[in-house]
Amino acid sequence: MTNRETGMRTITTREQLLINGRVHERIATHIVTGAHGYETLCTNGYNVRYNKAQQLVESCEKIAEGKLPVTCPVCFAIWQDVHRFTHVDFDTQSGKSDFIDTCHSEIITGNVSVTGKK
């Protein structure tokens, strides 16, 4: 049975980071979570980032899809934490976590808004 048949999706990337003026590189296979096929469980898998001086400090290239084993240690750690949940542990249909209009014109931190309850 292949990855495609099991529904398990992965992406293998070549990742480069500029750290203290030196490039560090790895090739890692990540668990894919997003509909686009590029969001990874660890959120590190497919990023490009520049610093304030517009110098490229993080680059990522996709080099394969659907490969096993997963080699990203962060994907593995997150998977270990979440794989025990089952469908009965979720409520995504009730609307309890929907965004509501608070009628505020700026974001206020440190307080839980009670306006606009459903």
pLDDT, one tens digit for every residue, the chain (118 residues): 446 566 789 999 999 998 998 999 999 999 998 766 678 888 765 678 899 999 988 888 999 999 999 999 999 999 999 999 999 999 989 999 999 999 988 888 876 655 544 4
Residue 68 lies in a domain: yes
Residues 6+ apart with CB under 8 A from 27: 12, 13, 14, 15, 63, 71
Is 109 within the bounds of a domain? no
CA gap 87, 82 in Å, rounded: 12
For residue 29, the surrounding DSSP H or E stretch is: strand 22-31
Indicate whether 111 belongs to any domain. Answer: no
Residue 51 lies in a domain: yes
Domain tally, the chain: 1
**Where does 16-69 have alpha helices with state H?**
none
Please, which residues bridge with residue 17 across strands?
24, 58
Query: For residue 37, what are the domain limits?
Result: 3-85
In a domain, 35, yes or no: yes
